[in-house]
Structure 1
Amino acid sequence: VQKDFVESITAQHTLATGKNKGRKAKHASFVEPLPEGEEVTDTTGKKWKLIRQLSQSATELLYEVSRPSSKELNHTLKLGTKDGRIFNEQNFLQRAAKPASVEKWVKQNKLDFLGIPSCVGFGLHTDSYRFLIFPSIGESLQSIIEKENQPLSEEVVLQLAYRILDVLHYIHSNEYVHADISAENVYIKQGQRSQVYLVGYCHAFRYGPGGKHVEYREASRTPHEGTVQFISLDAHKGAAPSRRSDLQSLGYCMLHWHTGLLPWTELTQPQQIATEKQRYMEDVPALLSQCFGRRSVSRAFQTYLTAVMALQYSEQPNYSTLKAGLSDALVQLGASVEEPLNF
């Protein structure tokens, strides 16, 4: 099981950062790395020094950065091409994820934490680059899974899903959807209480401008955008992503994180993957059976997936009911949402 899971998660990572990232690159040129030690200046005039490169994909790089006049590191710089998708992320963060707005939501909904990264600086560098700066938010779930070399426990997956639902509820309430949920876009900062962040808003889409939901129109956008193994059927068909798209993507991620499998794991052609998703959307028990195999199917997974697969395109999800199902299942497992994640 461990060997199969490692091969599976590596395949997902390769597909996401290779072929699929290549499709994203149609919207943005390949990013050439900047040398470590170089300085960039944000729009407020603050200088940031690139300490070391953390990761690289076809369209973006991450660096650990510091202020030249300060010994404090703990900041991450995301670098992309000037006119690439990073501009879309910047627009989302400035419009819908202002720290004051997030803090107000946390208080109104009596949350202890909401995992939306706070952008503390942004700017342009030369004529080619755009960058965003964030406080350090820990380690990607993708990296943790690869180190663990085995599927995540049901307890951990339910804890992750509960926290991600909090973030989705917030961004959906601000007329946006994420549209690219995957282990690469989930970060975890361990402490007394694990902080779970949903990052990577390059594909964020405003589904309800002015309070009016966009109409469902296939082929109105580029099909198959996002990490193809986990995107919704709507995205495969080139329809604008909606709230149900995010919740269905989260369901696919939950299954993969816990079982290491999806019925389309071995497929590489987006249209083939879309065909399989269409088939299993109409038969959730078969989807669960394929993923869980001979093991007993998690009732929490079954409840969640049945609910989100039945959502209409413009329907407002019942976040409280979905979260309650996950929370109740955690209690039955002798755990709770508040406990630190135990990988």
Structure 2
Amino acid sequence: MSKVLIKKAPRKKGANGYKLPDPIPKGEIMTDLKKQRWIISSSIGVGGFGEIYAAASYKDKIPSEYPAVIKIEPHGNGPLFVEMHFYMRNANPNDISTWKKEKKLQYLGMPPFLGSGSHEYNNEKYRFIVMERYGTDIWTLFLENGRKFSEHTVYKVAWQIINVLEYIHSRTYVHADIKGANLLLDLKTQNHVFLVDFGLASHFTTKEEYKLDPKKAHNGTIEYTSRDAHMGVPTMRGDFEILLYNMIQWLSSSLPWEKNLKDLSLVQQQKEKAFNNVQKFLNECFISEPPVPICQFMSLIASMKFNEIPNYNKFRDIIVKGLQKLNYTLNSKLEFSIKKTDKPSSMQRKSKVNIGENKNVNRKLKSVSSIKNAKETINSTQINSLDNSIDSIILDEKCISGKDIKKQLLANIDGDAEYEVQIKKRKARINQRNGETIIKPTAKRSRKKLTKREDISITDSEPEVIPITKGTRSRPGFRTLKNHKKNETHKQILNGSEYDSEKDIFEESYDD
């Protein structure tokens, strides 16, 4: 009888190419470097580098609650190595407590370090880190809420993140990967935001020379990566720029370069262009007038030098004044679902109906109890007034144009709702003949054909020139970089010899 050799399936890899650990069973005991024992429960998440388990301190008794988490990855991976040493040096609970007292803060969204170590399972060696357990991440809430947050919520979240950045920067580090998925709410009040995942944390530059690091170029989550990070330079202003992109996305639903995320250089160029003309960029991001605090926030970043220490109080002041204008305070509870009672924020279209002599008339359709009643309400005056001179209608933020506008409008009406309506009429041409006034609708202008300019292809043999080679006040000139692979999210893999480049970050190894 012939034997059948069954080959073991290769271990799966995470989104960033890292090996994922084999599942570890519930009840496994792990001992950290300080000989404290931890027991794990069920897996609560899988990242690009490894797995996250609910955990609790173990004292020879199965706990009823698991208030901590253990992040675990194979020893061959890199991000947890960086994160573990960052926490060891900068997240001591006593240091965080002292900082809060000095700054007179009731809370700080900096996760305290609870422990770390190595663990062997099935002849595979893993490293792990223990942290407090938190709740839902902001990205999940963003998607659940139709990709939009209220203006006051965005400002309150930003204020909390600025406080964490000030603490991290005081320890000579930058986070470099601020995003909704790395912002978690506390379990108890769900009103405090914690910044997690320090896998890309590194020392920021304090040198006068703007020195590029090709190994770190484009590091981060591409849609939020700062201009400095695109060139491999970790800076404090870069963290604020990353936060800014998050704020714009939370308010306007998306960022202009989200469709180009595979083209790293193109995304970088779009960001450079955005800071060359702040007002123009923000006008493109928002349907109506951009929020004033966002304009001020971005302008303040634009005025900073690459190695400048941020004026944290100025950034916080912009946020506080923005909240005051909306009649909110920092102490008010975080609200991630937009209520109907909330006032329309400045990024939503204003309810304007342009009729006749360009007079603005506010029209707000009343709440109705059914779809039928809603249709009847609109039909009575608004629908009947629509004629061939109508170019388009904005129903809330949805544009309705083309043929049979009446039919389309009725199809988009829902019951028990209020609508913000904007009717756009075509401009009329007035001709006077024999004492009579003849009004004719103006003809639509035909769009000019745009000739698409072909981009010069870059091969492996050609150096890729990162934009803005000319020096500026805030950024001196720089050299060219070699071409990089294009990924949706680009993170350098820290393994093997690449750890040598991190000697300035970690002088000694805590690894077994």
TM-score, length-normalised on structure 2? 0.59
Q: CA deviation at 1:74?
A: 1.5
User: Mean Cα displacement is larger for which, 228-237 or 119-128?
Assistant: 119-128
Letter of the 1:310 partner, please give it: S
Q: For residue 87 of structure 1, what is the amino acid of its counterpart?
A: F
1:79 aligns with 2:54: no
Equivalence for 1:45: 35
Is 2:221 the counterpart of 1:221?
Answer: no
Instruction: Tell me, in whole angstroms, the C-alpha distance in 1 between the residues paired with 2:90 and 2:129.
Output: 15
Q: Look up the match of 1:150.
A: 147
8 A contact 1:190–1:340 mirrored in 2:
no
Residue number among 316, 322, 328 corresponding to 1:323 in the alignment: 316
Q: 1:88-237, aligned counterparts within 5 Å? A: 88-126=82-120, 127-189=124-186, 191=188, 194-207=191-204, 212-213=206-207, 215-237=209-231
| Aligned pair partner of 2:334 in 330, 333, 341 | 341
Task: Provide the rounded CA distance (Å) in 1 between the counterparts of 2:88 and 2:207.
Answer: 21
Given that residues 193 and 338 in structure 1 are in contact (C-alpha distance below 8 angstroms), is that contact kept between their aligned partners in structure 2? no
The Cα of 1:217 is off from its aligned counterpart by: 1.6
| Root mean square deviation, CA, Å | 2.0
State the AA in 1 paired with 2:182: N
Higher helix share: 1
Displacement of 1:245 after TM fit? 0.6
Are 1:207 and 1:214, in contact at CA under 8 Å, matched by a contact in 2? no
**Would the aligned equivalents of 1:263 and 1:287 in 2 still touch at CA under 8 Å?**
no
Task: Call closer, same or farther: CA 1:100–1:180 in 2, change over 3 Å.
Answer: same
Q: CA deviation at 1:143?
A: 1.9
Structure-to-structure mapping, 1:306-321, within 5 angstroms? 306-321=299-314
Structure 2 counterpart of 1:62: 52
Instruction: Report how far residue 44 of structure 1 moved.
Output: 2.5
Alpha-carbon deviation of 1:250? 0.3
* Mapped partners of 1:289, 1:322: distance in 2: 21
Unaligned residue ranges in structure 1 (runs of 5+)? 1-17
Asked if structure 2 preserves the Cα contact closer than 8 Å seen for 1:160 and 1:196, the reply is yes
Structure 2: 5+ residue runs without aligned partners? 1-12, 337-512
Measure how far apart 1:340 and its partner are: 1.6
In structure 2, do the counterparts of structure 1 residues 45 and 156 end up closer, same or farther at CA, with 3 Å as the change threshold? Answer: same
Give the Cα separation in 2 of the matches to 1:339 and 1:142.
Answer: 21
| 8 A Cα contact 2:175 2:200, kept in partner | yes
TM-score, L = length of structure 1 = 0.86
Identity %: 27
**Structure 1 residue 218: deviation in Å?**
2.0
Amino acid at match of 2:309: Q
The structural deviation recorded for 1:38 is 2.7
Identify if the C-alpha distance between structure 1 residues 71 and 202 changes in structure 2 by more than 3 Å, giving closer, same or farther: same
